Amino acid sequence: MKKGASTGFTLIELMIVVAVIGILAAIAYPSYLEQVQKTRRSNCAGELVGLGNAMERFFTVNGTYVGATVGGAAGDIYPAQCPIDGGTAYYNLSITAQTGSTFAIQATPTGAQAGDSCGTLSYTNTGQKAATGGSLAECWK
């Protein structure tokens, strides 16, 4: 029997492929996580404005912002988390200040979103937007 030339990959070739994949993953994965955080933040910024609209509807009906609540109980005007359709919460929505004619609401990051550079997003009855970290333009895209 003749011993033929073997075919296949050598260990060195295989290690080079593994190293290249590792380098690509080290570059791509953090970028992917950043984009996921931006998407969650953008979704919740929209939901925060939605909560502001719900506060305005409450005011129209009741003549005051006092008494408006968020959560899942009967009588609550809006869900207490983002995403509002359920699932894993990435932000907790809350009404932080309310008088008869003013309100301030905020979205506090939680869970996988807790390390977000923008921090807590806030919104007032005058439409003023704010973020505890990062620039307003970056955080409210």
State the pLDDT at residue 2. 59
State the pLDDT at residue 141. 80
Written in H, E and C, the secondary structure of 57-120 is HHHHHHCCCCCCCECCCCCCCECCEECCCCCCCCEEEEEEEECCCCEEEEEEECHHHCCCCCCC
Q: In which band, very low, low, confident or very high, does the pLDDT at 72 lie, cut at 50, 70 and 90?
A: confident
Place of tokens 């895209």: 141
CA distance to 17, 96, 100, 110, 131, per residue, from 116 (Å): 34, 20, 33, 9, 11
Could you give the CA distance from residue 121 to residue 110 in angstroms, rounded to a whole number? 12
Q: Give me the chain's average pLDDT, please.
A: 91
Alpha helix segments (H runs only) across the chain: 11-62, 136-139
Could you give the CA distance from residue 44 to residue 50 in angstroms, rounded to a whole number? 9
State the pLDDT at residue 87. 87
Query: Average pLDDT in the 63-92 region?
Result: 91
Could you give the CA distance from residue 70 to residue 88 in angstroms, rounded to a whole number? 17
Q: Is the CA virtual torsion 88, 91, 97, 99 positive or negative?
A: negative
**Residue 105 near residue 52, CB atoms below 8 Å:** yes
Query: Average pLDDT in the 54-59 region?
Result: 94
Overall residue count recorded for the chain in this entry: 141
Joined tokens for residue 97: 């200040």
